[in-house]
């Protein structure tokens, strides 16, 4: 088998060509690496920027929510304090209105002598009506009570007379029993 040998010159010449080839391949690889590295760096920086933006937006959202919650809390406490002030004020105004109304009614009812006399007559008629109604109710109650008492007395008298009749019948039988018993015994013998 024949082997090809190269001369040292050719080997030296081949070395630079191989170096050049390797260098060109290395540059291409480096360029590709640089380009990939550049793309990787850009992707990393884009991701980092997106993460920062997302973080900023989340922080801003949290701040807004906190502000809203604080406002709502303040609003709730404001509502409670407002109610705490308005309730007694409203109650006092209603009481005042009632007092003024009562005073106005009294003044309109008793403002003059004739009005006062008319009001007194009304009171007298009302009192008279109430007294008559009470007397009527008392009279009805008394009549009802007397009727029930008479009915009970009548029922009791009937029961007592019935018991007396039974007692008399038993007493009569007791006195006649020995005579009847004797007659029966004699009739059998």
The pLDDT of residue 34 is above 70:
no
Mean pLDDT of the chain: 82
For residue 90, CA distances in Å to 1, 83, 94, 99, 101 come to 124, 10, 6, 14, 16
Q: At what angle do helices 8-110 and 113-188 cross, to 10 degrees?
A: 90
For the chain, the residue count is: 189
- Region of poorest pLDDT, from 24-33, 51-60, 111-120: 24-33
- 3-state secondary structure at position 119: helix
Type and span of the H or E element at 55? helix 8-110
- First CA to last CA distance, the chain: 178
Residue 1's pLDDT is 46
* Cα–Cα dist 78/91, whole Å: 20
Residue 71's pLDDT is 80
Residue 147's pLDDT is 97
CB atoms inside a 10 Å sphere around CB 142: 10
* Sequence-distant (≥ 6) Cβ neighbours of residue 110 within 8 angstroms: 116, 119
Each residue's pLDDT tens digit, 113-161: 888 898 889 999 999 999 999 999 999 999 999 999 999 999 999 999 9
């Amino acid at each position: 088998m024949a082997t090809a040998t190269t001369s040292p010159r050719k080997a030296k010449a081949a070395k630079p060509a191989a170096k050049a080839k390797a260098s060109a391949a290395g540059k291409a690889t480096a360029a590709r690496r640089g380009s990939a590295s550049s793309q990787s760096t850009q992707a990393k920086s884009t991701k980092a920027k997106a993460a920062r933006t997302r973080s900023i937006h989340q922080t801003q959202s949290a701040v807004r929510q906190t502000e809203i919650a604080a406002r709502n809390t303040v609003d709730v406490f404001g509502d409670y304090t407002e109610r705490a002030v308005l309730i007694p004020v409203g109650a006092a105004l209603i009481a005042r209105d009632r007092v003024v109304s009562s005073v106005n009614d009294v003044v309109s009812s008793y403002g003059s002598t004739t009005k006062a006399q008319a009001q007194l007559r009304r009171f007298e008629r009302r009192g008279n009506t109430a007294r008559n109604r009470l007397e009527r109710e008392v009279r009805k109650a008394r009549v009802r009570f007397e009727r029930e008492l008479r009915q009970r007395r009548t029922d009791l008298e009937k029961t007592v007379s019935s018991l007396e009749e039974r007692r008399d019948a038993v007493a009569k039988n007791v006195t006649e029993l020995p005579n009847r018993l004797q007659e029966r015994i004699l009739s059998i013998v």
